[in-house]
Amino acid sequence: MAQDSGTRTLISQSQLSRGRGRVIYWALLVVVVAGFTLVFLGPLYWMVTGALKSGQEIAQTPPSLFPKDPQPQNYIDAWNNLALAKLLFNTFYYAIGAVLFQLVFDTAAAYSLSKLRPIFGNVILALMLGTLMIPAMVLIVPQYVTVIDLPIVHINLLDSPFAIWLPLVANAFNIFLLKRFFDSIPEELMAAALMDGATSLRTLWSIILPLSRPILGVVSIFAVTAVWKDFLWPKLVMPSPETRTVSVGIYAFAGGTPMNVVIAASVIAAIPTVIIFLIFQRNIMSGLTTGSIKG
Amino acid sequence: MAITTVPETPRKPGRPPSPYSARPQRTSLGRKVRDNLTGHAFLIGAVLCFVVFSWYPMVRGIVMSFQRTRRGETTWVGWDNYSRIIADPSFWTAWQNTFYFTVLALALGYVVPFFVAILLNEFRHAKGYLRILVYLPVMLPPASALFLFKFYAYDPSEAGLFNAILKALHLPTSQWMQSPEMTMPAMVLASTWMNMGGAVLIYLASLQNIPGELYEAAELDGAGIWRRIVHVTIPQTRLILALLAMLQIVATMQLFIEPLILANGAGAEDSATSVAYLIYQHGFFQNDLNGAAALGVIMLVVLAGFSAVYVRLTAKQD
């Protein structure tokens, strides 16, 4: 997604830079920038400042634009009453584990499918990609039944972080992204390494992975945000208050907690993903578009 | 979906010679077996996870839908679960609501991002900023964003954000989630706000792949902006348009967290009950996992129907 000021789009550059076109262009730009700021940042502003208002102020008509008497206490209450530190830690722990599991297993699988190409590899890849067609909601019940009593070993994974980590490894989209990236690494590099007597593992570690940092970054960021945003699955497999994720925890408390405190907690829960986005927005956006288009 | 139509990288005819070929040649069979074993050793972790958490549950969901488990005893019951689920008075309401949501969400969340992307693609300034803005809500945890809508935006009194705006504009205010008529549009609005960023970015990327000469040629032929959109932009991006329509149908059919948080599940007069919510209700509240599995299979069949239509339509155009 390079800044492509040079290429011709719907309306030609010359039409935009002269006379009436120029006026319309700038007017439209100002309107859109202002409108988008209002539509997409406005609600966030409302959320952050609303959580600072007192219960009375939030119920007043018409609503005030700035909190008259800011109550940081709402945020403190949210932090303490909802045990947000624990909830955030849980979510962070699940997210980091999900990244590690996905990086190890999905990278190994994609490497095998791309470079080692064992027998039946294509069948396995097709079966994996087939799961992309199956909506999560269809699988939720049998998946839950499987997790509470794993076949053969009969282990119950409820309240265990593995109930979040392992199902996330079965992510065909990641394997597809990684495989396609590995496909673009020239075979000659591999051959040279093998000539020198390197094992497959060594080749992966010292040739493929260093070249794949961008895509590994994309997969990691997606893994973190997926865990952070997920709701129903963690709600089902992490039923205890001690193991909840932050979204589920806030939902569980929403009934008996003052509105402003719930919103304050929601603001705090959103901060990590927003920070991740602002830091990695380039990687996130390029990962999103390469995954879906250039196929 | 496009994801699956990616051509497999063909095996290079001149595969690199066996790395150990400098050594005395061993039987190729032994080598092959060993190479295959290594390959599968790298695959095993991911494959096991797919087996346990994806492929097996798929089969098990279908099997479960024909069984009934009571007090630890499982028996085959034929189509009983299906008839029980279909007889549930909420069944048809849930499908109606889900389709209504899907249609509204397509009208709003499919058309709007396309034109937003076209607009953003014309701008030579502030592009990065606008892209970040559009995608920002996608990064919020849905629960957080929905509490914002529930408590602050859709407050039915005049202290609510939307009602305050409507009142300032001298428009009639709304009861939002308290009103059965407004429930769906309100959920679609919240859902579109949260999710449209992804579609905008994907459209933007596909717009950038359109060769500029096509627009030039159309302009020389005297085509105005609208005709250029209809005759150049849309045909050039139609595969992505079709793909995103399909993905969006699949996503909106799974409508769950919006009714759960905004409408406490069913909503005013059952106006928010969705099929996914019904699966959740049956499976985890009414202790009817088999019925929930049957409903899941029904959903899968309906979506497969849509996919078949999609494949038909896109295949015809090529």
| pLDDT tens track for B118-159 | 989 888 888 889 999 999 999 999 999 999 999 888 888 888
Residue from A29, A84, A129, A138 whose CB has the most chain B CBs within 10 Å, to mutate: A138
Of A121, A142, A263, the CB nearest to B151: A263
| A66: its two tokens | 């700035």
Whether the complex's predicted ipTM is more than 0.85 is answered with: yes
Residue from A16, A64, A100, A141 whose CB has the most chain B CBs within 10 Å, to mutate: A141
- Residue B117: phi and psi, rounded to 5, are -65, -45
| Residue numbers in B near A187 (CB within 8 A) | 12, 15-16
> Residue range B46-53: average pLDDT?
95
Residue B20's pLDDT band (cuts 50, 70, 90): very low
**pLDDT at residue A5 is higher than 70:** no
**pLDDT at residue B300 is higher than 80:** yes
Condensed to tens digits (0 to 9), the pLDDT of residues B189-225 reads 999 999 998 889 888 888 888 888 888 888 888 888 8
Closest chain B C-alpha to A49 CA, distance in angstroms: 11
Residue A122's pLDDT band (cuts 50, 70, 90): very high
Give the best-scoring range by mean pLDDT among A9-18, A116-125, B162-171, B303-312: A116-125
Distance CA B294, CA B81 (A): 6
Of B40, B124, B159, the CB nearest to A58: B159
Distance CA A176, CA B11 (A): 17
Q: Cα dihedral sign for B101, B104, B105, B110?
A: positive
Domains identified in chain A and CATH numbers: 13-71 (no CATH), 77-292 (1.10.3720.10)
Residue of B nearest to A225 (CA): B139
| Residue numbers in A near B65 (CB within 8 A) | none
**pLDDT at residue B88 is higher than 80:** yes
Please indicate whether residue B149 or residue B178 has the higher confidence score (pLDDT): B149
| Residue numbers in A near B157 (CB within 8 A) | 59, 61
Condensed to tens digits (0 to 9), the pLDDT of residues B224-235 reads 888 888 888 888
**pLDDT at residue B11 is higher than 50:** no
Residue B27's pLDDT band (cuts 50, 70, 90): low
Which residue type does B243 have? L
**pLDDT at residue A22 is higher than 50:** yes
Q: How many C-alpha atoms does A114 have within 13 Å on its Cβ side?
A: 22
Contacts 24+ apart (CB under 8 A), B9-13: B9/A114, B9/A183, B11/A117, B12/A187
**pLDDT at residue A81 is higher than 60:** yes
Closest chain A C-alpha to B2 CA, distance in angstroms: 7
Condensed to tens digits (0 to 9), the pLDDT of residues A234-249 reads 999 999 999 999 999 9
Residue A291's pLDDT band (cuts 50, 70, 90): low
Please indicate whether residue B71 or residue A159 has the higher confidence score (pLDDT): A159
Closest Cα partner for A295 from A190, A184, A170?
Answer: A184
Closest Cα partner for B138 from B195, B201, B55?
Answer: B195
What confidence score (pLDDT) does residue A140 get? Answer: 94
Burial class for B221, CB neighbours closer than 10 Å (0-12, 13-18, 19+): exposed
Cβ within 8 Å, pair B142-A61: no
What confidence score (pLDDT) does residue A189 get? Answer: 82
How many residues belong to chain A? 295
**pLDDT at residue A1 is higher than 70:** no
Closest chain B C-alpha to A120 CA, distance in angstroms: 9
Please indicate whether residue A287 or residue B207 has the higher confidence score (pLDDT): B207
> Residue range B238-255: average pLDDT?
86
| B15: its two tokens | 């595969």
Chain mean pLDDT for chain B:
85
| Residue numbers in B near A138 (CB within 8 A) | 61, 296-297, 299-300, 303
Residues 86-145 of B with CB under 8 A from A: 118-119, 121-137, 139-145
Domains identified in chain B and CATH numbers: 82-317 (1.10.3720.10)
> Residue range A9-38: average pLDDT?
86
Chains A, B: CB contacts within 8 A come to: 350
> Residue range A21-47: average pLDDT?
91
| A15: its two tokens | 């039409």
Cβ within 8 Å, pair B54-A59: no
B297 touches chain A (CB under 8 A): yes
> Residue range A77-92: average pLDDT?
93
What confidence score (pLDDT) does residue A274 get? Answer: 92
Distance CA B162, CA B152 (A): 8
3-state secondary structure A56-68: HHHCCCCCCCCCC
Beta strands in chain B (DSSP E): 67-70, 73-76
Q: How far is CA B15 from the centre of its chain?
A: 39
